[in-house]
């Protein structure tokens, strides 16, 4: 815990170090005030000395104001330090997540990462703030109060020792019982966030199948589980206050009885009335600070569970990193797979891709066809090094992709993924993800190549049209064409379309492919599609089946000599097919 905190405090170390100083000063003030009260009673009230009462009363007011200042200053610096710590941890976590490869991201659920970035870090923030405030205030306050009590009367002060020992034992048992409930709540937070995320992102499907009641019941179960966990923990913690107050009142009764007896029998020589008031004040001070200390330990225990979850993300090392002396230039768009094997998990008995061998020349248009689960996407992910091969090597421009600088490689290998994603912002904002420095004319040209200008020009605000998060206010075909235009703005040497025209009609698909052939002839184009009509004009077509290459040739040669390809072709060309008369969006 300390290592994570010290590494992330950075510029807020001063605030964290100043806070305990103000807390200790506040404690000193709290200890001095009862002494002034005792002086007022013993030398002011009983002696009838009004001057002494006024002087000491004024001193008490001044001391209380000073204590208020120390407390406020401590709270201010503690808030700055803890909020700064949370800010730095969140920034470091988010930055580390951005370096993750797909394999790293696969280890964490989206809901789990959200919980870690929000609830878990908030727990750490609150625990740290309490630690640098109460972690110093409570022990020092108890220590000073105990010393002062023993200096006043050791016999009566020994009552505190018995009370403290009893409460300490009770609190240790209570904490051990309650902590396991608090630890279990974080997994329930993940379930809750997962339920919300899944429902909101798939709300159209939920409504289409009229599953609102089912989703409400699922969410209710997640909330109920979280509720039960907290109730179980609170049932334990709630016992602390009545036991605490019972002990305090028992101590006050003992002090009152024994103290009054001592005052009467000794004629205030062994103990004065003011000193008895002091002892009662210190009694409350000691026991209440013990209670605060116990609550702090409960919170620290809760935050330790949060910290372990945060550390998992902070200490996760990206599987894919730059080499020591990376190649900073991609010569051309040639691609070579040499005896490539790939599996998502190390030591897996079966590879996702097995012994893949083929070569693509710069500027070629290559189609990739295969059934669901044939590992088409896995294959193209290796080209831009979104995953690393298990065996063999993938070369781009004649160089192993593992030798390139990641930014350089991915700038030259533009991928339009199977799941098209648009971000909230204008159409121009989304297009400039491909090239932040692109002019409006360049964006318009990319949209023309992707046939996106057809629908953009019909919108009232055209390229300034606002796109909602996830592109929910445009159709599937429009979204795909915008993503293709965004990829083209990178002006890559290799363009990969991973089933990226599936929501576009065949006529528009043909227009896009024709534009690619005439406008970017030097760019190597890889098109993954289930429709042979989208692939048959390619220079060569790669046929994948169960992670193995079953054919790599032209449309005509595959049709004549490849059973898998011929069966798919015949199935798609028989019947009504998928050939539209005119373009439009799906």
Nearest Cα neighbor of 477 from 485, 465, 469 is 485
Contact indicator for 490, 434 with CB cutoff of 8 Å: yes
Tens of pLDDT along the chain (586 residues) come to 677 788 888 889 899 899 999 989 988 888 888 888 878 887 777 777 888 888 888 988 998 899 899 989 988 999 999 999 999 999 999 988 888 877 777 777 777 788 888 888 888 898 898 888 888 888 888 888 888 888 888 888 888 788 888 877 887 777 677 667 766 776 677 677 777 777 776 777 878 888 888 888 888 887 887 788 778 777 777 777 788 778 878 888 888 888 888 888 877 777 788 888 888 888 778 877 877 777 777 777 777 778 888 888 888 888 888 888 888 988 888 999 999 999 887 767 788 888 899 999 998 999 998 877 788 888 988 998 888 888 899 999 989 999 999 888 988 888 887 677 788 888 898 888 888 888 888 888 888 888 888 888 888 888 888 888 777 778 878 888 888 888 888 888 898 888 776 667 777 777 887 877 777 888 898 988 887 877 888 889 999 888 888 889 888 888 888 888 888 888 887 744 443 433 344 3
Domain range list for the chain: 2-314, 335-419+492-573
Q: CATH topology of 2-314 equal to that of 335-419+492-573?
A: no
DSSP 316: P
3-state secondary structure of 524: strand
* Token pair belonging to 173: 């048992």
- What CATH architecture applies to the domain 2-314? Up-down Bundle (1.20)
- CATH topology for the 335-419+492-573 domain: Rossmann fold (3.40.50)
The helix (H) or strand (E) run that includes residue 542 is strand 540-545
HSE of 292 in the Cβ direction (CA atoms, 13 Å)?
Answer: 19
pLDDT in tens, 341-373: 998 877 677 888 888 999 999 989 999 988 777
How confident is the model over 528-544, as pLDDT tens digits?
888 787 788 888 999 98
pLDDT tens per residue, range 234-268: 777 777 778 877 887 888 888 888 888 888 887 77
Tokens of 492: 């890559």
**pTM listed for this prediction:** 0.70
**Residue 393 bridge partners (DSSP):** 338
Neighbours of 222 (CB within 10 A): 19
């Amino acid at each position: 815990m300390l290592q994570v905190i010290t590494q992330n405090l950075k510029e807020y170390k001063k605030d964290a170090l100043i806070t305990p100083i103000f807390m200790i000063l506040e404690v000193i003030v709290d200890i001095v005030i009862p002494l002034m009260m005792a002086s007022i009673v013993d030398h002011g009230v009983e002696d009838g000395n009004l001057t002494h009462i006024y002087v000491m009363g004024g001193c008490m007011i001044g001391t209380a104001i000073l204590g208020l200042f120390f407390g406020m200053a401590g709270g201010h610096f503690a808030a700055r330090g803890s909020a700064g710590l949370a800010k730095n941890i969140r920034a470091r976590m988010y930055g580390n997540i951005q370096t993750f490869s797909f394999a790293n991201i696969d280890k964490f659920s989206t809901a789990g990462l959200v919980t870690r970035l929000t609830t878990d870090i908030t727990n750490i923030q609150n625990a740290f703030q309490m630690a640098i405030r109460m972690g110093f205030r409570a022990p020092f306050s108890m220590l000073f109060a105990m010393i002062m009590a023993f200096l006043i009367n050791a016999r009566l002060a020994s009552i505190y020792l018995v009370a403290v020992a009893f409460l300490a034992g009770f609190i240790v048992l209570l904490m051990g019982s309650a902590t396991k409930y608090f630890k279990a709540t974080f997994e329930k937070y993940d379930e809750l966030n997962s339920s919300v995320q899944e429902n909101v992102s798939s709300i159209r499907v939920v409504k289409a199948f009229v599953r609102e009641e089912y989703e409400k019941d699922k969410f209710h179960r997640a909330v109920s589980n979280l509720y039960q966990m907290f109730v179980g923990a609170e049932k334990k913690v709630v016992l602390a206050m009545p036991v605490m107050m019972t002990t305090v009142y028992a101590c006050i009764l003992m002090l009152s009885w024994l103290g009054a007896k001592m005052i009467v029998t000794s004629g205030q020589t062994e103990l004065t009335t003011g000193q008895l008031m002091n002892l009662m004040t210190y009694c409350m001070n000691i026991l209440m600070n013990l209670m605060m200390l116990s609550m702090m330990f409960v919170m620290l225990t809760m935050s330790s569970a949060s910290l372990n979850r945060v550390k998992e993300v902070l200490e996760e090392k990206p599987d894919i990193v730059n080499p020591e002396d990376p190649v900073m230039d991609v010569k051309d768009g040639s691609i070579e797979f040499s005896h490539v094997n790939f599996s998502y998990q190390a030591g897996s008995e079966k590879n996702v891709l097995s012994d893949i061998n083929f070569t693509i020349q710069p500027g070629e248009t290559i189609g990739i066809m295969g059934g669901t689960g044939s590992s088409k996407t896995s294959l193209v992910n290796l080209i831009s090094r979104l995953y690393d091969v298990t065996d063999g090597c993938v070369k781009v421009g004649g160089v192993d992709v593992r030798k390139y600088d990641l930014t350089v490689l991915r700038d030259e290998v533009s991928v339009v993924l199977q799941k098209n994603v648009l971000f909230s912002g204008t159409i121009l904002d989304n297009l400039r993800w491909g090239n932040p420095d692109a002019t409006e004319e360049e964006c318009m040209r990319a949209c023309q190549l992707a046939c996106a200008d057809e629908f953009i020009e019909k919108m009232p605000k055209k390229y300034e049209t606002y796109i909602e998060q996830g592109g929910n206010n445009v159709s599937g075909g429009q979204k795909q064409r915008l993503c293709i235009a965004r990829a083209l703005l990178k002006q890559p040497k290799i363009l990969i379309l991973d089933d990226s025209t599936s929501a576009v009609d065949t006529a528009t698909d043909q227009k896009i492919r024709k534009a690619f052939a005439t406008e970017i002839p030097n760019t190597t184009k890889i098109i993954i599609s289930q429709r042979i009509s989208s692939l048959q004009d390619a220079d060569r077509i790669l046929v994948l089946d169960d992670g193995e290459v079953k054919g790599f040739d032209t449309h005509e040669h595959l049709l004549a000599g490849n059973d898998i390809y011929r069966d798919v072709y015949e199935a798609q060309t028989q019947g009504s097919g998928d050939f539209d008369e005119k373009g439009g969006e799906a």
